[in-house]
Amino acid sequence: MRYDPRKLNWLGTLIGYTSVISVLKTAPATTIEAAKTTEVILGATGVGSPIYQEPAIVRAVLGVKFKIVTGYKGGNEVTLAMERGEVHGRAISTNGWEAQHPQWVVENKLAHLVQIGPGDPKRMAGVPRLIDLAPEDKKPVVRFYEAAPRTGWSMFLPPDVPPETVAAVRAAYSAMLNDPGFRADIANKVKSDVVIFQGADFDRLVNETMATPDSVVAEVRKIYGEGK
């Protein structure tokens, strides 16, 4: 990364996201506790993708028996592999099942093991969050990873923009996020919710993430397979 995020003028988040690791209810383990003693096979693309990184983080932090099978070309192929019985489940955004396989949601065919990110109480009520389950010594790893879902689909202006321009654009951006018609369009077309995360809170998260100790970053790289 050849820029300093702390120097950008952040407008805020349009859509935050929370991921969930889900399995079909026919899987040998259908809770995160059961996955600590029973192997669960999850499909993924490659190690650079969240669909791999999220179960890898959960495995490292909680000691669950996730076997991650890579090599699928995309998320749809992983879902197809679930249908064929090749894998038990996958990581996906909490609103992803509504968009990709709504009949599984309607027919209650999925068991959701754990959420990664800020949480989605509307869709995932009762599903534990990784940050809450993590031992104290592993919470910094989870917080570092969760910076991405917390910032979500964010927008920013480059450095050195005049303060009055930044203020005007931030006000317009905030008005857009709070517009009922805009929020309804996002809900209907993207199957997601507008998450308002702006101002000092957003800047604080960026600063905290950039101040992450090297030891934590090294541990995350090792989990991803980059620090072998």
Q: Which superfamily, per CATH, for 19-142?
A: Periplasmic binding protein-like II (3.40.190.10)
The Cα 110–Cα 102 span in angstroms is 11
CA distance 57 to 53: 6
* Separation between Cα atoms, residue 118 and residue 213, nearest integer Å: 22
Helix spans in 63-159 (H): 75-84, 96-100, 102-106, 130-133, 139-151
Residues 6+ apart with CB under 8 A from 158: 8, 9
Q: What CA–CA distance (Å, rounded) separates 99 from 116? A: 19
- State the DSSP code for 198: -
pLDDT at 227: 47
CB 97 within 8 A of CB 120: no
State how far the Cα of 54 lies from the Cα of 92, in Å rounded to an integer.
Answer: 9
Q: What is the pLDDT of residues 151-203, one digit of tens each?
A: 878 899 999 999 999 999 999 999 998 999 998 988 887 767 777 788 778 88
- Maximum distance among all Cα pairs of the chain, rounded to whole angstroms: 58
Q: What angle do CA 138, 146, 57 make, to 5 degrees?
A: 50
CATH 3.40.190.10 in the chain, residue ranges: 19-142
pLDDT mean values, one per 10 residues, the chain (228 residues):
89 86 98 98 93 96 96 94 97 89 94 94 94 96 91 89 95 92 85 76 90 95 74
Nearest C-alpha neighbor of 7 from the set 153, 210, 196, 152: 210
